[in-house]
Structure 1
Amino acid sequence: MTTPRPNLTVIRCQDIEASAEFYRIVGLEFEKHRHGSGPEHYAASDGTWTFELYPASTKFPASTSTRIGFAVGSCDGVADRLREAGFSLITEPADSPWGRRAVAVDPDGHRVELSSPLPT
């Protein structure tokens, strides 16, 4: 039996451009998409997983309680770039049992965990 794995994550955003900027700093490369008459949105894919940013609407409000985690090359480097761009961190980079870890807040209030291996 194959173990299920995530292949799609969609979050709704109040300001899709600000959210795209945040996630670009994290390291995602987006393309604009539109499916049929649906809304224009951003999608980043590595071939096995797709992360999409859709504009929030009355029917689909911003999904602020979702927590998202990204393995990044340098937790400290991404945290620095996010801070420099005016985004907030609620947990500064620190060593943990799971590696170097920080938690940032995207423009809609999602808590975004950044982790990288501990230096050897």
Structure 2
Amino acid sequence: MSNITLNLVVLRSSDIARAAAFYSRLGLQFSRHRHDDGPEHFAAELPGDGVFELYPLASNGASTLGIRIGFRVPSVDAAIAALSDYPAALVTPARDSEWGRRAVVADPDGHRVELIQNHAAARVDCS
């Protein structure tokens, strides 16, 4: 099963434009889409053929609030700085860990988002 890769993540948002603006600060580039009679939504292509989508939260639909996602970023500190217009976003401040430099933020809907920077980029001694 080593050939399995994740290719799609969909989050539901009460305000997809606001959510897209937040994730754009992390470097994602969104375009608007609509498939057949489905709702308009935002999609961002990720390296390796993955797609990250933001769909509207329907009044009778299931929430994705309990889902936790993560992005590998070039710099955790730069990503946090890019979110400075969202002062309530920082959940866990940046710190070095065994996986690299790491922080957790919350998007405007409350989804927890882990930001991680690999050891080489963070210049952390993992020995």
Which consecutive aligned stretches of 4+ in structure 1 deviate over 4 angstroms post-superposition? none
Match of 1:85 in 2: 85
Q: TM-score by structure 2 length?
A: 0.87
Please say if residues 62 and 108 of structure 1, whose CA atoms lie closer than 8 Å, have aligned partners that are also in contact: no
Identity of aligned residues (%): 46
* SS in structure 1 at match of 2:59: coil
Amino acid at match of 2:26: V
Stretch moving more, 5-14 or 57-66: 57-66
Shift of 1:20: 0.3
Paired letter, 1:28? L
Three-state SS of the structure 1 residue aligned to 2:25 is helix
1:66 alignment counterpart = 67
Q: Which stretch has the larger CA shift, 15-24 or 42-51?
A: 42-51
User: Structure 2 CA distance, aligned partners of 1:108 and 1:62?
Assistant: 10
Superposed CA deviations along residues 53-99 of structure 1, whole A, max 9, x for unmatched, are: 000002324311110000001000001111x2124111001000010
Q: Is there any run of 5+ residues in structure 2 with no aligned partner, and where? A: none
Q: Does 1:17 align with 2:17?
A: yes
Equivalent pairs counted in the alignment come to: 119
Q: Distance in 2 between matches of 1:41 and 1:62?
A: 15
**How large is the RMSD of aligned CA atoms in angstroms?**
1.4
Q: What's the counterpart of residue 40 of structure 1?
A: 40
Once the 2 structures are TM-superposed, how far is the Cα of residue 108 of structure 1 from its aligned partner?
1.1
Q: TM-score, normalised by structure 1?
A: 0.92
3-state SS of paired residue (1:26): coil
Q: Which runs of 5+ in 1 are unaligned?
A: none
Which residue pairs with 1:107 in the alignment? Answer: 108
